[in-house]
Structure 1
Amino acid sequence: MGEVIGGILPLALGIAISPIPIIAAILMLLSPKAKGTSVGFLIGWVLGIVVAVVVFTLLASIIPEQDPDAAKPIAGVIKLLLGAGLLFLALKQWRSRPKDGEAAALPKWMSAIDSMTTMRGAVLGFLLSAVNPKNLLMAAGAGVLIGTAGLNGGEITLVIVIFVIIAACSVAVPVIAYLVASTKMAAPLESLRGWLVQNNATVMAVLLLVIGVVMIGKGIGSF
């Protein structure tokens, strides 16, 4: 089980460090309906991660069992494809980064955050975690690692819980911190938002590159 946890950690961190959902959460915390929308967003974010990783774990568990010491070509091919997809997204992110002196543009949907309700915040959180291609690929990678590791039910549940906690922490921490000390958090959150907006593409490109290479390495090791 330790090997599986070690394998999913970079993927969980990849979801956690994704700047767009963090920016969305911060914008909600700075909006007039901060508490309602941010809590809804956090619930949707966590639920989306759980659904994605559980679905891919179940799908991966369908792969026929093999001798633990034998090659696992099916799992290897899936990991290679996931790694290639992450490298493609890394290249796309790198090309989209703002040039020197150019301000980064935010997605248009972020302009509607101020008027969002709790339910819409929850739906947005779910979509960003369960449907977003970058996060979906990383959840798929984690699901393949978990589902093909031959773990029992209790071990699978524990590994998924660890994955979800790590993947969700980047949204959970600012939301919980704001709920505990809202007056002290406004300035730090605004500063963090500005940095993330400007460096979103670069951060994601490097992150996807590293995780993509790791996933390809695991795929090669399965043959």
Structure 2
Amino acid sequence: MVDVVGDLLPYAVGVALSPVPLIAVFLVLGAPAGRAAGAALVGARVGTVAGVAVIAAFLADLLPESNGTSPIGLVLRILLGAVLMVWAVVLLLRRADQSESSDQPAWMATMGNASVPEAARIGVLLSAVNVKELAFGAGAGLTIAAAEIGAGATVVAAVGYAVIACLVSVAAVVAFWFAEDRVSRPLDRTRVWLARNSTVLVAIVLLVIGAVLVGESLQDF
């Protein structure tokens, strides 16, 4: 299990460094029901991230295996890694062609007034319909499936992956609960910085995780 968690760390870090969910958490914390809404968003996000990894792992178990390793699974991981790296390059090229805008996107403005149910729904959507998040979840699921640790341990590993992946968001919510006056301004400054540099951050994360996927899968052939 320890080895599995170690193998999942790159994917978890990739999700943890994803700027959009963090921006969403910081914005929701500023809502009238900020404390409860922030907890609802993070709770829904942890559950969804874990669910995606579990589903991917169980689906990967259906792939044909050879000598304890699924060649199809390895190929899928290589293809996924290649797609992530190409995606990173495309993001950087698009950013170079676009002029920066200081206007706040509409979705940011709406999250500042999110209720608790709306925050929970946002947490699910950020993880269930975000292609990048799904790609990381698929990679985590394939890694868990390759370890052949059984159904119960698969769920435990997926939950551990989700907790690590959402640890920054959890920490932000906990800090807001116990020291709202002290952390409000730092959180807002961090949100502004993430919004300005989100494209570069996403590209770096995609490039690193893609390279890890391709490199490790080639070694396993």
TM-score by length of 1: 0.90
CA deviation string 1:38-83 (max 9, x = no partner): 1221122112101111110110111234313xx6421111101211
- Gap change, CA 1:212 and 1:104, over 3 Å in 2: farther
Alignment identity in percent?
33
Q: Which region of structure 1 is more displaced relative to structure 2, 116-125 or 155-164?
A: 155-164
| CA distance in structure 2 between the partners assigned to 1:157 and 1:108 by the alignment | 37
| CA distance in structure 2 between the partners assigned to 1:72 and 1:32 by the alignment | 50
Query: Contact 2:41–2:121 at 8 Å: present in 1 too?
Result: yes
Corresponding position of 1:9:
9
Q: Which region of structure 1 is more displaced relative to structure 2, 172-181 or 25-34?
A: 25-34
- Counterpart of 1:38, as a letter, is G
- Counterpart of 1:18, as a letter, is S
- Gap change, CA 1:158 and 1:44, over 3 Å in 2: closer
Query: Contact 1:104–1:197 at 8 Å: present in 2 too?
Result: no
Query: Contact 1:97–1:201 at 8 Å: present in 2 too?
Result: yes
Give matches, 1:1-223, under 5 Å. 1-68=1-68, 72-97=70-95, 102-103=100-101, 107-223=105-221
Number of residue equivalences: 221
C-alpha deviation, 1:105, in angstroms: 5.6
Q: Which region of structure 1 is more displaced relative to structure 2, 84-93 or 94-103?
A: 94-103
| CA distance in structure 1 between the partners assigned to 2:82 and 2:186 by the alignment | 37
- Counterpart of 1:150, as a letter, is E
- Counterpart of 1:127, as a letter, is L
Alignment RMSD: 2.1
- Counterpart of 1:46, as a letter, is V
- Counterpart of 1:202, as a letter, is V
CA deviation string 1:80-125 (max 9, x = no partner): 1211221132123323437899346654322211232211111111
Query: Contact 2:60–2:145 at 8 Å: present in 1 too?
Result: yes
- Counterpart of 2:166, as a letter, is A
Q: Which region of structure 1 is more displaced relative to structure 2, 82-91 or 93-102?
A: 93-102
SS of the residue corresponding to residue 147 of structure 2 reads: coil
